[in-house]
Amino acid sequence: MLYDLHTHTSASDGLLSPGEVISQAKDIGLPGLAITDHDTVDGLEEARRFIEENNLALDFIPGIEMNTELAEKEIHILGYFIDYHNRLLLKRLQEIKKARLERARKMIMRLSNMGFNISFEQVERIAQGNLIARPHIAQVLRENDYVSSIKEAFDKYIGKGRPAYVNRYKFLPAEAIELIKGAGGIAVLAHPGLIRDDSFVDTIISLGIEGIEVFYPEHNHGQIIKYSQLSQKKRLLITGGSDFHGYNQDENRGRLGSCGVNPEIMRNIFYYQQTKTKNKQEEH
């Protein structure tokens, strides 16, 4: 079975609670997984406690997916084995949360001005009091019968270049990489195939990324080979995951456990992290 290193919970834009994701991972026989919610660590302690309280034999990797932008191109940076109590990380995430909130309010206002019956309270309810993201706005548009799917909401109204789109807060990949490493984590470039411009991949590598998400539901065979060879050439870790958001959800890239890394690759990741931690301890 595979280790799924890219999953989302209701702490960001997933449908299931952290405990529910862990429970389903155990039910389908995954040996381990990472929870990598967008720009938040709020679900990690709940997941850890759920594993402990239910005495589950499951390797849990506390993670995050940071949404950054470079030259108007969206770049996602995954972090693994992060210390989710790190003061600097939490401070920056709180700032990002406020910026996301303000962005959501502006987008909802634009939709209202376009004649849509949509309120911030509706979006907040969908988000379950957690981080508000565009998929939550899209879900309300679908609930209110303005669109038939989340994809349609993005394509017509809230995707980049669409009438209700609002530019994101300024958050560069270099800062995300620095924050993840500062919190003791491993920084990995998420789904490079979705960037659709490998010059950006080269740039991110030059910024000190430690791995590439090679195995991803929307990567074709050629991309898997290309990014695997690039990882080996640059001596970077190979990772992979499903980008699971919950069943019957348009944002779901793949079924839980449908994509990931085998135990041999996972051993390399564990070894890298252990060596990194040991070297850091020896420095101090």
Within this chain, do residues 62 and 203 fall inside the same structural domain, yes or no?
Answer: yes
Tell me if 163 is assigned to some domain: no
**Residue 132 or 257, more confident:** 257
CA distances from 232 to 12, 48, 78, 227 (A): 32, 32, 19, 9
Q: Distance from CA of residue 96 to its chain's centroid?
A: 14
Residue 284 pLDDT exceeds 70: no
Coil, strand or helix at 87: helix
271: its two tokens: 């070894």
Domain of residue 109, residue span: 93-158
Confidence of residue 197 (pLDDT cuts 50, 70, 90): very high
Within this chain, do residues 212 and 119 fall inside the same structural domain, yes or no?
Answer: no
Our count of domains for the chain comes to 2
Tell me if 164 is assigned to some domain: no
- Its sign, for the CA torsion 176, 179, 182, 183, is negative
Tell me if 54 is assigned to some domain: yes
Tell me if 33 is assigned to some domain: yes
Coil, strand or helix at 58: coil
Within this chain, do residues 208 and 120 fall inside the same structural domain, yes or no?
Answer: no
Within this chain, do residues 134 and 192 fall inside the same structural domain, yes or no?
Answer: no
Within this chain, do residues 99 and 192 fall inside the same structural domain, yes or no?
Answer: no
Within this chain, do residues 197 and 69 fall inside the same structural domain, yes or no?
Answer: yes
Within this chain, do residues 141 and 267 fall inside the same structural domain, yes or no?
Answer: no
Tell me if 233 is assigned to some domain: yes
Lowest mean pLDDT among 87-91, 149-153, 191-195, 199-203: 149-153
Within this chain, do residues 128 and 185 fall inside the same structural domain, yes or no?
Answer: no
CA distances from 119 to 108, 124, 131, 250 (A): 7, 9, 16, 22
Residue 235 pLDDT exceeds 80: yes
Residue 283 pLDDT exceeds 90: no
Residue 249 pLDDT exceeds 80: no
How far is the C-alpha of 26 from the C-alpha of 279, rounded, in Å?
33
Within this chain, do residues 66 and 110 fall inside the same structural domain, yes or no?
Answer: no
Within this chain, do residues 78 and 193 fall inside the same structural domain, yes or no?
Answer: yes
Tokens 């996972």 locate to 266
pLDDT attached to residue 13 = 87
Tell me if 226 is assigned to some domain: yes
CATH number at residue 205: 3.20.20.140
How far is the C-alpha of 62 from the C-alpha of 208, rounded, in Å?
21
The residue type of 180 is I
How far is the C-alpha of 171 from the C-alpha of 67, rounded, in Å?
8
pTM of this structure: 0.90
Tell me if 14 is assigned to some domain: yes
Residue 279 gets the label, from left (phi > 0), alpha (psi -120 to 50) or beta, of: alpha
Strands of 186-189's sheet, edge to edge? Answer: 4-7, 32-35, 59-70, 73-80, 186-189, 211-215, 237-240
How far is the C-alpha of 76 from the C-alpha of 65, rounded, in Å?
6
pLDDT attached to residue 248 = 61
Please write the tens of the pLDDT for every residue from 170-186: 899 999 999 999 999 99
Lowest mean pLDDT among 12-16, 31-35, 67-71: 12-16
Within this chain, do residues 36 and 118 fall inside the same structural domain, yes or no?
Answer: no
CATH number at residue 145: 1.10.150
Instruction: State what percent of residues in the chain have pLDDT above 70.
Output: 97
Tokens 């389903």 locate to 24
Tell me if 167 is assigned to some domain: no
Within this chain, do residues 65 and 180 fall inside the same structural domain, yes or no?
Answer: yes
